[in-house]
Amino acid sequence: MNNDGTTWNEELIKEEFCEYDAALILEAPIRDSNVEDFLGWHYNTNGKFSVKSAYDLALWQATISGPSAEGVRGGTEEGDWSFLWKARVPPKIQLFAWKACQEAIPVAINLKKRGVQVEVACSCCSLRKENSLHVLVSSLASLGTLRLTLAYYLSKWSVY
């Protein structure tokens, strides 16, 4: 932000961030500094905690972490993952979701396990280790995208 706190320092942002990120930052509105901060629950649209929103979050996290992969490793192709393979979503989404649940996407933790010399702390927030769940669901960087994506796809996709 510029010193007045009402506009972005466009030159600095374009210098420090890649073109794509800079464009996103510059499109973001600047909050009115006269409005008092408040503690908000970012897992629902109004920012207020409710038991229902906590239940929905727990249910979603249980679905995302997926069932055990023993069925897949045990030789049966569908195993416990049949809900995913039957979902009416593009195959590339099914495969990506399965790989994410298997910790098979190239995030820092997985790269480190394979001998790549990387820092395992999340490069965006440095608060947690960078694993699939953090990158896709719980990092601050993913929450806005996740909320929009979920709202769109949950209304379009049928799992059963």
Model pLDDT for residues 60-119, shown as the tens digit of each residue: 777 665 544 443 333 334 457 788 888 887 888 888 888 888 888 888 988 888 888 989
Position 145 in a domain: yes
Position 97 in a domain: yes
**Same domain membership, residue 19 and residue 73:** no
Task: Give the pLDDT confidence score for residue 70 in this predicted structure.
Answer: 42
**Same domain membership, residue 8 and residue 64:** no
Q: Which two tokens stand for residue 41?
A: 């629950």
Predicted confidence (pLDDT) at residue 2 exceeds the cutoff of 80? no
Position 42 in a domain: no
**Same domain membership, residue 69 and residue 144:** yes
Position 84 in a domain: yes
Q: How far apart (Å, rounded) are the C-alpha atoms in residues 47 and 107? A: 30
**Same domain membership, residue 33 and residue 56:** no
**DSSP conformation class of 155:** H
* Residue 64 domain boundaries: 51-156
Of the ranges 6-15, 95-104, 118-127, 148-157, which one carries the lowest mean pLDDT score? 148-157
Predicted confidence (pLDDT) at residue 3 exceeds the cutoff of 70? yes
**Same domain membership, residue 75 and residue 24:** no
**Same domain membership, residue 33 and residue 69:** no
Q: Tokens 């909050």 identify what position?
A: 31
**Same domain membership, residue 82 and residue 7:** no
Predicted confidence (pLDDT) at residue 11 exceeds the cutoff of 50? yes
**Same domain membership, residue 13 and residue 92:** no
Task: Give the pLDDT confidence score for residue 14 in this predicted structure.
Answer: 92
Give rounded-to-5 percent helix, strand, coil for the chain.
Answer: 50, 0, 45
**Same domain membership, residue 92 and residue 147:** yes
Q: Which residue has the higher pLDDT, 73 or 56?
A: 56
Predicted confidence (pLDDT) at residue 54 exceeds the cutoff of 50? yes
Domain count, the chain: 2
**Same domain membership, residue 71 and residue 23:** no
Q: Which two tokens stand for residue 99?
A: 């790989």
**Same domain membership, residue 72 and residue 21:** no
